[in-house]
Amino acid sequence: MRTCRGLALLCLLTGLACAQQPTSPTSPTTPEPQPQPQSEGQPDAEQETIFNHSETARWWISGQANTIFQFHPNFHSPYSSANSLNARHETATSDVVTLYTGFELTKTTEVLFDLESAGGGGLSDALGLAGFTNLDVVRNPLLGPKPYIARIILHKVIALGEFEKNPQRNPVTSILKELPKRRLDLRIGKLGTADYFDLNSVGSDSHLQFMNWVADNNGSYDYAADTRGYTFGAIAEYQDTNWALRFGEMLMPKVANGPDLDFNLRRARAENIELELRPTLHKDRATVLRFLSYVNHANMGSYREAIHAFQAHIDPVPSIEAHRVQGRIKYGFGFNFEHELTQTARIFGRTGWNEGQNESFAYTEVNQSIQFGGDYRLKMLHRPSDKFGATFMTQGISRVHQLYLALGGKGFLLGDGQLTYGREDILEAYYTARLWRGVSFSPDVQYVVHPGYNRDRGPVVVPGLRLHLEL
């Protein structure tokens, strides 16, 4: 019922704002990296949104709604704990509804403002998997579906070259009608770190692509965010014809997976830097390489200190929360690539590492990650908007993180009470079918080996269905 009311409100607002306007082929679901691959750069013959959107207006109003249903059958599990994936059959449904707005103050300045509601939940309250199966799930079920401000961003463009039409006009990155290829972008406000860093046009969108949160983001990238995935920050980005460089300073949560951010930059913050290269390896095929590094400063616990306190009989169980120190550092590195093989087929991959000695804090409990996959558009079957994708992901944790979990410690996601360690391996495949204009339907299946890095549990199969409306 809550989802229906949210959809009705979105339909009313977007219908009033966008009726009788020319159609834009751009969908605001997720920002596309620069430049779009050739197969993505051509608009489909079919309209991509339910309502028309103006290409010339100074304002923008649109919306989207995403519903994901997942389940898993019973699976092998000789033991479990409060942070385990439930070994018995269960189902879960999540709902995310977003209202996007924006206004162009000048030719080079804009304000973006988004409202969002995230309802429903995930399997086992999003516990028990490092690579959880649904990126839309809010990891704190106590927050509820009450609407909240997702983004409020002031964006300023400093032109360093001639202006051209903006082919990717959307309210997550920019609604400005023209942008120079050579420019400096300055953004400040409430935003999503993953809206600008570690993007990949094959795997960054849980609404039309993969659902698993280590499929759409680098699992070892512990990026700054509150429980809902947003933070306050400032980003400076230089864009050129064949490369880009971006730097962001973000706020960290006060506690691991917490809803409240620490506004004292002297004790808690996150630096993010990414170099993006767009080499011409083939005349008609796009290639993008991204090199990422980050440093988080926060009130983090130490796995080693928690283990020592337990072994010295100071703590009855290993507790990372009991050994937090303000200003501890977690740093890491990441790489991702995408390459267009044909006009309909693309491949992509990611790899990442973080130091693994201090507490996993903001995203998920992963210290090393590898991913490879691809997607294929069904143009030959006269379904140019339909797409099939598949990916394999494997992630691991440091030795001290393994020992902490094996002794009975718990993180904010994991903790079976004991552990026989093995890498968590996941296969995911989806098919997204465009039903009508901005209405898409996607069956999805995920196969998880060693859930929570535990050889004693699993494997588990997680089928799912997704309905997406682009308004």
| Domain limits, the chain | 2-470
Instruction: Of 282, 252, 227, 209, give the one whose Cα is nearest residue 429.
Output: 209
Q: What is the pLDDT along the chain (471 residues), one digit of tens a residue?
A: 444 445 444 544 444 444 333 333 333 444 444 333 333 333 344 678 888 888 889 999 999 999 999 999 999 999 999 999 999 999 999 999 999 999 999 999 999 999 999 999 999 999 999 999 999 998 776 777 889 999 999 999 999 999 999 888 888 999 999 999 999 999 999 999 999 999 999 999 999 999 999 999 999 999 999 999 999 999 999 999 999 999 999 999 999 989 999 999 999 999 999 999 999 988 889 999 999 999 999 999 999 999 999 999 999 999 999 999 999 999 999 999 999 999 999 999 999 999 999 999 999 999 999 999 999 999 888 888 899 999 999 999 999 999 999 999 999 999 999 999 999 999 999 999 999 989 999 999 999 999 999 999 999 999 999 999 998
CA 433 to chain centroid, in Å, comes to: 21
**382 CB neighbour count, 10 Å cutoff:** 7
2-470 to CATH, choices 3.30.390.10, 2.40.160.10, 3.40.50.2000, 2.40.30.10: 2.40.160.10
Q: How far is CA 219 from CA 61, 130, 265, 325, in A?
A: 33, 8, 25, 24
Residue 249 tokens, joined: 């300073």
d(CA 139, CA 66): 17
pLDDT value of position 282: 84
Q: What is the DSSP letter of 195?
A: G
pLDDT value of position 373: 97
d(CA 145, CA 118): 5
Residue 13, sorted as left (phi over 0), alpha (psi -120 to 50) or beta, turns out to be alpha
pLDDT value of position 21: 37
Residue 302 tokens, joined: 């130490």
pLDDT value of position 46: 63
d(CA 408, CA 319): 9
pLDDT value of position 169: 86
Residue 444 tokens, joined: 């999805």
d(CA 154, CA 232): 12
Instruction: Of 414, 416, 412, give the one whose Cα is nearest residue 80.
Output: 416
141 preceded by cis ω (within 30°)? Answer: no
Q: Locate all alpha helices (DSSP H) within 299-370, ordered by sequence.
A: 303-311
Q: What is the DSSP letter of 241?
A: S
How many residues comprise the chain? Answer: 471
Q: Could you identify the residue written with the tokens 């995911």? A: 428
HSE of 435 in the Cβ direction (CA atoms, 13 Å)?
A: 12
For the entire predicted model, the pTM comes to 0.88
Query: What value does the CA radius of gyration of the chain take, rounded to a whole number of Å?
Result: 22
Instruction: Of 368, 412, 321, give the one whose Cα is nearest residue 126.
Output: 412
Q: Which residues of 177-190 are buried (b: 16+ CB within 10 A; e: fewer)?
A: bebbbebebebbbb
